[in-house]
Amino acid sequence: MIKSANKDVANKLAILLRGESIIEKINFNLNYNTLYNNSNNIWSLLLLSGYLTVSDFDTYTNYYKLQIPNKEVLSYFIDLVNTYYNNFNKTFDKDKLLKALLNKNTLEITSIINDFMKGTISFRDSKESFYHGMMFGLLSGIENYIVSSNREAGYGLFDLVFYDYEYGSVGIIFEFKCVKKLDDLEKSAYEAMQQINEKDYQVIFDNLDINNIIKYGISFCGKKCYVIGGDDIWNV
């Protein structure tokens, strides 16, 4: 159902990722024969499966105020955002992004991500978890590469790593930050890069025998991002 989600469903998923609530009519008599009759049945299914929780309700109308219950389920919803972006924007040129990442061209990476956000997201989508899910989606599905999220490495949990699993030619580490003011974008990107180095996230590649490692700190504000790393001198 998520793979076939329309824009309305996708927009409501974004609202949930911001930590906010949605109000939907819930059908407690779902069955497989009627499940796909209405795209809004996804909310009933997610509630009955435990992926959403009720914060308020009206028993007379069956309208329920729904939200994501905890961080574990939020991680699941990030995967849903990944699926949505793969479905919603099939025309996105992932090879162009990959080339810019491998060439360490931060200006090109910034331009590609900014162009994508300008045409797809809302200014209200301003939580780090949303951008995290967006980047996961943009990096997913590239041939011979694996993207991994929120796993322990070094002295903490990295945001994303992306690597060539077939030849072990390169491993890329991403750390994301989210700010409220455009003036803070550059500083926040530096902080993201500093976190990568201080937490020693690159040890994740030791067992994979990957020695060519690229690091990117990316900060987001609304529909803008700032990228440092690659060939930049900020090896702090």
- CA-nearest of 175, 166, 164, 176 to 212 is 164
70: pLDDT strictly greater than 70: yes
Residue burial 140-152, b: 16+ Cβ < 10 Å; e: rest: bebeebebebeee
What kind and span of H or E run contains 173? strand 171-178
84: pLDDT strictly greater than 70: no
pTM above 0.75, yes or no: no
pLDDT at 34: 66
Instruction: Tell me, rounded to whole angstroms, the distance of Cα 85 from its chain centroid.
Output: 9
CA pair distance 3, 19, nearest whole angstrom: 22
pLDDT at 236: 38
pLDDT at 3: 59
pLDDT band at 91 (very low <50, low <70, confident <90, very high): low
- CA-nearest of 211, 198, 204, 152 to 173 is 204
List, for residues 173-193, the tens digit of each pLDDT value. Answer: 999 999 999 999 999 999 999
